[in-house]
A and B are shown apart, each in its own frame.
Chain A
Amino acid sequence: MNCKTAEKWILKSLDGRLDEPSRRLLDEHLSVCPFCRKAEAEYRSMLALLRPDTTEAPLPRFWERLEPRLKEEQKVVPLVLWERWALHVLPVFAALVALAAGLFIFTPQALELSQSETLLIENTNPFTETRSLFEEKRPEARSMMLIFASLEDKPSARRQLP
């Protein structure tokens, strides 16, 4: 056994993790190697010095001091949770609004149809309404009817009522 392996086994042995056959081999090595004997003594002493004599206790009234801090945190937590929740929800909400706006903008609007187009779609004769105009015998009345008919087609030309 070389001294490097012996050192590993010394520490395993001090941890109580060395099996019996290895322990015997280590003992044999220690009996002939003064350096490893010294190392074992030093490790033993070092580990003993590291271990505390007693478990250290915190300052008095540990729980009594902790409890108000927990209660204080409890008040803050719902706010923090809301903030976290909002942080996740807000981008989704913004995306939905953007999507809705996009749909609204890019959806093709229904075309405004002219009167004659409407009549054609409704499969109605566009000349039915003008028949009375041609049948009117009096020229003054016909002129008035024409004027009113033209005004119906151009609503912007009418004077706006207050």
Chain B
Amino acid sequence: MEEKQLVRLAQDGSQEAFEELVTKYQSKVFSMAMNFIRNREAADDAAQEVFLKAYLALPKFHLKSEFGTWLYRIAINHIKDILRKRGRAKEVSLEEVREISVADENALEKTEMERETEARKGLVQKSVQGLPEKYRTILTLRDIQGLPYDEISRVLHLSPGTVDSRLHRARRMLRHKIAPYLSQEGGSHEL
């Protein structure tokens, strides 16, 4: 069934239609929450609350945008609220991250290269958490969630030019944070 039809049925009170929408988007909403919250249980709870909010707001949704875009907007706002309540995330020490990642018990069973990759992944993901909120959000939507530029523009209510420049700045900031750990030679060059 087409998504718009599912939305209309859900608006008319069909639980089955809403269940289909939840099934389609639950992983995306959860992984978005996970990228910001970094805790499975809390991210799962946040994802549930996002769908709860969407369900209650469904009568006000006039299908002017895609359901997914509308849902992402609810998710982003809800996650921002959670983070605001928790207080600003602390700047993550890169050395500490490296230690945690390498000390991962599962990593010990893997090959040297796999362990190195996992350590770097952990480092990069943790470094994203240390970015200012607006840069972290846009980087998560584009480079982790893989949303297209035009959808990011609609979700965040930003012009395409702002999306472009903000994302550029976010990537630049992140690269400067982790550059020493990305290449063996170390050091970075100010462009």
Task: Confirm or deny: A69 has a beta carbon within 8 angstroms of a beta carbon on chain B.
Answer: yes
Contacting pair B52 A43 (CB below 8 A): no
Interface presence of B182 (CB below 8 A): yes
A51-B143, A59-B40, A65-B48 are contacts. A46–B28 as well, Cβ < 8 Å?
A: no
Q: Mark A44-86, 1 if CB is under 8 A from B, else 0.
A: 0111011110011111001101110110010001000000000
Q: Is the CB of A70 within 8 A of B55?
A: yes
Bound Cα distance A56, B43 (Å): 11
Given known A59-B40, A69-B52, contact A51–B146 (CB-CB < 8 A): yes
- By DSSP majority rule, is chain A's interface helix, strand, loop, or mixed? helix
Complex-state Cα separation, A67 to B23, whole angstroms = 12
Which residues 132-191 in B have Cβ within 8 Å of A in the complex?
139, 143-144, 146, 149, 167-168, 171-172, 174-175, 178-179, 182-183, 185, 188-189, 191
Residues of B within 8 A of A69 (CB): 48, 52
The answer to the question of A39 belonging to the interface, with a C-beta cut-off of 8 Å to chain B, is: yes
- Which residues on the A side are within 8 Å of B56 (C-beta)? 73, 77
Judge whether A28 is part of the interface by a CB distance below 8 angstroms.
no
B189 to A: closest C-beta gap in Å: 4
Interface size on B, residues (CB 8 A): 46
Chain A contact-residue range equals: 35 or more
Give me 9 other A-B pairs in contact (C-beta within 8 A), A63-B22, A65-B48, A73-B52 excluded. A35-B189, A39-B175, A42-B179, A45-B183, A56-B34, A59-B44, A66-B22, A66-B48, A70-B52
Q: Could you list which residues of chain B lie within 8 angstroms of chain A, going by C-beta atoms?
A: 15, 18-19, 22-23, 26-28, 30-31, 34, 40-41, 43-44, 47-48, 51-52, 55-56, 117, 120-121, 124-125, 128, 139, 143-144, 146, 149, 167-168, 171-172, 174-175, 178-179, 182-183, 185, 188-189, 191
